[in-house]
Structure 1
Amino acid sequence: MTKTVTHEEAAIETMRASVIRKAIGPTILLGSGTYFDFEDPESSEITIEDIAYGLAFEGRCAGQCFSRLLQRRVFYSVAQHCVLMSLMVPPELQLQALMHEVGEAVCGDMTAPLKSLNPSFKAIEKRCEAAILKRFGITMTDRVALKQADVRMLATERRDLLLWRGEKWSLTDIEPYDFHISPWSPEQAAEAFLARYAELTKNPSPQSREVL
């Protein structure tokens, strides 16, 4: 059965299309002033500041975080997740852990359950991630160890930042880390990310400060 498109729907679709820059492909404008092309991420320019601030203003868990320590809803960023995870892995994996979510700096943080229903989105995100990692000269040498650390981070976040009541999850037997998470503001998370990147690469950034 063919769906009839109403005049109102057509007008809305036209307006939606008008905000997508397609001169060189579907792109977004980054904070550095450069465009990131989802159809050609390999040729797109992106800075470490774009990544740090993109992840710092991106909330984990669809923004549905509740701090057990503070007893209120809080913002907890992907950037903070990455910084903390980088502190939990062996030295040879620390930079990889810090940068393991770079695709989300341009694609956003789609929750894992929703992502599992959208394989095409996952493929785009993985391509963007690979392109950005290559631009920064980073090779993921032990994805299994990184995923294990990522899952332990999720277990820690579930304990500290979600209203989990003990119902069974697939990661029920995963032990959380022994530190407790105190959420940072987006600005703090971005600065901590830049500082950690500078520390691990020995390449100081003018915008980086000491890790909190």
Structure 2
Amino acid sequence: MAELNNIERMRESTIRRAIGPTILLGSGTYFDFDDPENSEITIEDVAYGLGYEGRFAGQCVSRILGKRALYPVAQHCVLMSHAVEPRLARQALWHEAGEAVCGDMTGPLKSKNPSFKADEKRCEAAILARFGIKITDPEAIKRADIRMLATERRDLLPWNGERWTVEDCALPYDFEIIPWDPDTAAETWLRRARELEASHG
């Protein structure tokens, strides 16, 4: 009887905690989309959220591997953090932090959902503030992101040269992208975050 009462109390507690727009993170805490500023999220939650999230809705075909492949958001961030000048490396690594909890909605679909964009930006700002990251040069980060997109389009999408938008003016980076598996992406992102934190401090 006591065991049944304990199970019932646990069930009630879980239901109460899960009410509203919340998700349960890998660390065991809840992220509240109505109160992201006070949600407890760990650096591992960010790393693995980005590591297991695929860019381009998972519709990647690796030119180098010659097959479909998952290209993790975490890899995108790590590569960009090495591509920018050192003063921007931390900002580049963390620039997709909101996607650790919001997912990576494709740009065309996101443009049709302004309320989602606002929620994602709020979550991103809350996560960046929690870890003491400030985007001091958003224009430089945007330019680097567009160059990353041009590089990814060349290496990871079955692109036939159609014009897109402003990224058609961007030059791809010299490096070639070979997709990492999710665990490698998450763990590499985490190492890079700690390396940059140490050099920043």
* Map of 2:95 onto structure 1: 100
2:110 matches 1:115: yes
Q: Which amino acid aligns with 1:90?
A: E
**TM-score, structure 1 as length reference:** 0.84
Distance 2:143 2:195 in 1: 24
Mapped partners of 1:97, 1:40: distance in 2: 25
Matched, 1:125 2:147: no
* Structure 1 unaligned residues grouped into runs of 5+: 1-18, 204-212
Per the alignment, residue 8 of structure 2 pairs with none
CA distance in 2, matches of 1:20, 1:147: 41
Runs of 4+ in 1 over 4 A off after TM superposition: 19-24
Q: Deviations along 1:103-132, whole A, 9 cap, x unmatched? A: 000000000000000000000000000000
8 A contact 1:28–1:35 mirrored in 2 = yes
2:185 aligns to what? 189
1:139 aligned onto 2:131: no
**Contact persistence 1:86–1:94 (CA under 8 A):** yes
User: How many residues of Structure 1 are paired with residues of Structure 2 in the alignment?
Assistant: 185
Q: Which amino acid aligns with 2:195?
A: E
SS of 2:23's equivalent in the other structure is strand
Task: Give the drift of 1:21.
Answer: 6.7
- Aligned match of 1:76 in 46, 57, 71? 71
Tell me by how many angstroms 1:71 deviates.
1.0
Uncovered stretches (5+) of structure 2, i.e. residues with no partner: 1-13
**Aligned residue number for residue 199 of structure 1:** 195
Mean Cα displacement is larger for which, 170-179 or 158-167? 170-179
Q: Larger % of helix: which?
A: 2
| Separation of aligned partners in 1, 2:16 and 2:102 | 16
Q: Alignment partner of 1:28: what SS?
A: strand
Letter in 2 for 1:69: I
Percent identical pairs in the alignment equals 70
Query: Alpha carbons of 1:144 and 1:73: their partners in 2 closer, same or farther (altered >3 Å)?
Result: same
Q: Which residue of 2 aligns with 1:29?
A: 24
The separation in 1 between residues aligned to 2:80 and 2:15, in whole angstroms, is 34
Q: Give the Å deviation of 1:25.
A: 3.2
Distance across 2 between alignment mates of 1:72 and 1:116: 29
Q: 1:20 Cα deviation (Å)?
A: 8.7
Name the aligned partner's letter for residue 193 of structure 2: Y
The answer to whether residue 145 in structure 2 is matched with residue 150 in structure 1 is yes
Match of 1:62 in 2: 57
Deviation digits for residues 65-110 of structure 1 (CA, Å, limit 9, x no counterpart): 0011111100100000000000011111100100000000000000
> Against the structure 1 CA distance between its residues 178 and 21, is the aligned structure 2 distance closer, same or farther, given a 3 Å change threshold?
farther
Q: Distance in 1 between matches of 2:24 and 2:174?
A: 39
- Compute the TM-score of the two structures, normalised by the length of structure 2: 0.89
Q: Cα–Cα, structure 1 residues 168 and 86, in superposed 2: closer, same or farther, change >3 Å?
A: same
State the distance in 1 between where 2:112 and 2:158 align: 24
CA contact (8 A) 1:75 1:183 kept: yes
SS at match of 1:120: helix
Q: Match of 1:202, SS?
A: helix
- Contact kept, 8 Å, 1:20 with 1:27, in 2: the verdict is no
